Every structure is written in structure tokens, then in C-alpha cells.
Chains A and B, each alone.
Chain A
Amino acid sequence: MNNYTFDELKVGMTESFDVTITAEMLDAFKGITGDVNPLHNDEKFAESKGHPGRVAYGMLTASFLSTLAGVYIPGERSLIQQVETKFASPVYIGDALTVKGEIVELIDSVQRLTLKVTITNQNGKKVLRGKMEILVV
């Protein structure tokens, strides 16, 4: 786990990690949230809607932003304040995602950073983009 102090952070710094979406992740997410929508849980239903298989929950994909902040940038001192996301493309079981954050702003007075975030799949297509406001405490 990283443990950047505010003073060690610079605009332009990036961190990233990779994760592959599994059926077990979707099932665990359903168990936690109670979201039983068939688009995420019924392969035939998802196919009837034009997808190659079950669609990963957008919020499951977004949940990796928690890891990005809490483990990578800034890491241990992270306190997430705000998250804005757009789900640009669907994510499917087996997709290999790269979760990346780049510091675009540092506010000294409140020790807060703005992280531009993108999640791309194995084809280089953006599946999520957004912005996080994170306090360094």
C-alpha cells in the first residue's frame, strides 16, 4: 500500500492497477447490494438485450476507484470526499480492466487532490471516466 503525504504529491502523478472481472464478483456484489436485476444475473436475459453475456454492475466497476484512492494514490492517508463517474461502455465477465488515476489539481489549504480517473478494458476502450476529490489526512 502506498502512503503518500500531501507534500510528496505532484500534479501529473499517476498510479494504476489491473483487475479482471469474474462471475464471482458479480454474485458477491448482488449479495451485498441486493440488486437482482436480470441484466447482471441472467445470461439469457442479457443476451436478449443485445449483450454477449451478463453485464457487470456499473457500481462494481466504480468500486475499484476506492482501491485506486485507498491503496495507490494517495494510499493510506486517503479520505474520499466526492466521486463523479460516467459509465462509458458496458463491462462483461472476463474483461481485463486497467484502473488509472492522474492528479490534476492539488489544493494546499484543505490538503485535497483532484484525481482524473479512467478505467479501460483489454481493448483499450474506456468503460468508465470520472473525477475524484480526495483529502490527504
Chain B
Amino acid sequence: MTREGVFKELTEIFWDVFDDEDIELTDETTADDIEDWDSLEQINLVVACEKKFNIKFDMKEIQSLKNVGEMVDTILSKVQ
């Protein structure tokens, strides 16, 4: 899977979790940029990613993610 492919799938996950198709992600997008991105939705994002990409995160990885770009790269490293 390409980085662009992961990015596209991740964008759709964000749309679904936040019920908002106007969300536009960049590598630099953080929780500060999306109003409802709180600790609950962070967990929902992680669970949705695990199911969509058929991968598993560990707690340290989740806590270390700083922005969408790091999220994409972490997913990419697991699906390849």
C-alpha cells in the first residue's frame, strides 16, 4: 500500500469517526486542529485504524503519535 493510499483511507476514517466529510488532513494536522478530537475519539480512531488496516498498535506507539503524518507512517510500517 502506498503512503497516499494510507492517507486516503485514514481521511475516510476521520470522516467516519467525526461524522464530518469537510475534514481535510495534512501531515501536520493534530488534535488541536479538529474540535472534537479528544481522548475518547483518539481511542475510536485507533480502533477504527486497527480494523480498517488489520493491524495492532501498542500503547507506547499510540501515546507517541504527534500528528497525522506520524499516524500514517506508523500504519504504513505495519501494513508493508
Residues in A lying within 8 Å of B, measured CB to CB: 81-82, 107-110, 112, 135
Q: Is the CB of A112 within 8 A of B47?
A: yes
- Judge if B15 is at the interface, Cβ distance under 8 Å: no
- B8, CB-defined interface residue at 8 Å: no
What DSSP secondary structure best describes chain B's contact surface?
Answer: helix
Q: How many Å lie between the Cα of A78 and that of B40 in the bound state?
A: 15
Count of A-B contacts judged by CB separation below 8 Å: 22
Asked if A109 and B46 sit within 8 Å, CB to CB, the answer is yes
Cβ B43 vs Cβ A110 within 8 A: yes
- Provide the bound-state CA to CA distance between A81 and B41, in Å: 10
Pull 10 A–B residue pairs with CB atoms less than 8 Å apart, ordered by A.
A81-B40, A81-B43, A82-B40, A108-B56, A109-B46, A109-B56, A109-B57, A110-B59, A110-B62, A135-B43
Q: How large is the interface on B (under 10, 10 to 19, 20 to 34, 35 or more residues)?
A: 10 to 19
Please, which residue of chain A has its CB at the minimum distance from the CB of B42? A110
SS class, residues of chain A in contact with chain B = strand
Determine the distance from Cα of A110 to Cα of B63 in the docked complex, in whole angstroms: 11
- State whether B56 touches A112 (Cβ < 8 A): no
Q: Residues on B close to A: CB < 8 A?
A: 40, 43, 46-47, 50, 56-59, 62
> Which partner residue on chain A sits nearest B43 by CB separation?
A110
Closest Cβ of chain A: how far from B49's Cβ, in Å? 10
A96 to chain B, nearest CB (A): 34
Cβ of A82: which chain B residues have Cβ within 8 Å of it? 40
CB pair A110–B56 under 8 Å, yes or no, is no
Contact B59 A109 (CB under 8 A): yes
Taking a contact as CB atoms under 8 Å apart, the answer to whether A109 and B40 are in contact is no
